[in-house]
Structure 1
Amino acid sequence: MAKDTSSIGSGGGGRTLTVKLKKSAGRSVASQRWLTRQLNDPYVAAAQKGGWRSRAAFKLIELDDRFHVLKKGMRVLDFGAAPGGWVQVALERGAGSVVGVDLLEIEPIPRAHLIKGDATDPEVQKQALELLGGPPDILLSDMAPNTSGHAATDHVRIVALAEMALELAFTLLPPGGTFVTKLFQGGAEQHLLVPMKKRFATVRHAKPPASRKESSELYVVATGFRD
């Protein structure tokens, strides 16, 4: 059975009930806040209902609905793939072959090849290309560092990951390829756009509805890679 790949609407007219957690001596304030947010997040509920590995699946769904980057039969390479939501979306939307790479173990996903390893490791890249059956038509990166709670530090870390992903895109994509990556707004990401615009025909920004309003994350969608 196909999954529901529609994004979450705000309509319906019904009243949304807010779940409130009682304070617990065993939970920190940050943990309490996170749990409350998860319980009241419609995307979390929709992901569980639809069989998606995470709410992040809806981010790719919404990006693809807008930019149409996923094509039937294409080869998809997903870096930072755990727990596998973007891999699921790529397969659901007709990808011919999908390889997901992450430092963390990913539970098996039918029809997908999953690698536990470092995306910058040449041996991991070689294995990924062999499993794909050729260079990726699209390289996806939803990689994110462990957050420190310090906004400036977290911004630098996410930009460093995006920069690494861009270098991998330059290395692995064929002419005409597509690159989708996550960034955090904060200024330091601007230096990535200059080389990106030189090597891709089109570079666009988007904050999909599934991205939490309080989050500074946005996504860059670059198409038409020039070798």
Structure 2
Amino acid sequence: MAGKPTSGRGQRDLRVRVKSARGRKLSSTRWLERQLNDPYVKKAKASGYRGRAAFKILELDDKYRFLVPGARVVDLGCAPGGWCQVAVERVNALGQKSGKKVGRVLGLDLQEVDPIPGAEIHVLDFLSEGADDTVKEWLGGPADVVMSDMAAASSGVKQVDHIRIIALCEAAAELAFDVLVPGGTFVAKVLAGGTEQGLQLLLKKRFDKVANVKPPASRADSSEKYVVAQGFRG
């Protein structure tokens, strides 16, 4: 005997809902609920990546092809390590792609980061004096790619956070100017907010192509986007 048709959408709502708890802010409850229902969080766990941000650099590289076998990569502010994991795979840092050049991945952060097979991780403030020379020494030469998913500590004030991350991105770009090989690539996260024009002008003077893109893995309600500057003029 056929069952009665279900009402509404005809199937269960599989979304995980989080009940508010005593002492937990509503914003924290919403963040937790979003995390539990985020397909990229689930994909990251299934793929062994340390965070959903790994898919942002994957999608950017799928489009712009800068993480090629043999490339030497510097990941600024690399914690927790998802971007390094992707870079290791793509540049063949472990030498697992037969017949392909073997690349190198250097991750830098202010804090200790758990080891990543195929990546060399160091505690270093990239803003410190002589950091560019230290990076080139560790790499054994200039870099092909400098990338950054860094964000300054949130103040809760949107415009202040915007200015902070643009300043951080400009500082990362200055390091890139010192360590990149001609033809190299710079990739960094920025927040839309009105003062990024100075960064754009800075990059357009030093690179052949500068693109602004919001990868699918970047949450739709976030103001973040990524700048991809290619063809460093040296």
| TM-score calculated relative to the size of structure 2 | 0.88
Query: What RMSD, in angstroms, separates the aligned Cα atoms of the two structures?
Result: 1.5
**Mapped contact 2:135–2:179 kept (Cα < 8 A):** no
Name the CA shift for 1:162/1:15 in 2 (closer, same or farther; >3 Å). farther
Deviations 1:26-45 (A, max 9, x none): 31122111111110100001
Instruction: Kindly provide the amino acid, as one letter, of the partner of residue 214 in structure 1.
Output: D
Conserved 8 A contact 2:132-2:178: no
Alignment of 1:15-94 (within 5 A): 17-94=14-91
What is the one-letter code of the residue matched to 1:20? R
Which ranges in structure 1 are unaligned for 5 or more consecutive residues? 1-13
Q: Secondary structure at the match of 1:175?
A: strand
Relative to structure 1, the CA distance from residue 76 to residue 153 in structure 2 (aligned partners, 3 Å threshold; closer, same or farther) is same
Q: Deviations over 1:69-98 (max 9, x none)?
A: 111011000001100001000111124110
What code does the residue aligned with 2:53 have?
A
One-letter code aligned to 2:119? A
Question: Does the 8 Å contact 2:212/2:226 carry over to 1?
Answer: yes
Following superposition, the deviation at residue 15 of structure 1 comes to 7.3
The answer to whether the aligner puts 1:189 opposite 2:199 as a matched pair is no
What pairs up with 1:207-226 in 2 under 5 angstroms?
207-226=214-233
Contact persistence 2:73–2:106 (CA under 8 A) = yes
Alignment of 1:127-166 (within 5 A): 127-166=134-173
* CA distance, structure 1, for counterparts of residue 12 and residue 140 of structure 2: 49
Identity across the alignment (%): 54
CA deviation vs aligned residue, 1:93-124 (integer Å, no higher than 9, x gap): 12411000011211000121101121112454
* Distance in 2 of aligned mates of 1:68 and 1:145: 27
2:159 alignment partner, SS class: helix
**Counterpart residue identity of residue 219, structure 2:** R
Where structure 2 has 5 or more consecutive residues not aligned to the other structure, the ranges are: 1-10, 93-102
Structure with higher Rg: it is 2
Q: Measure how far apart 1:128 and its partner are.
A: 2.7
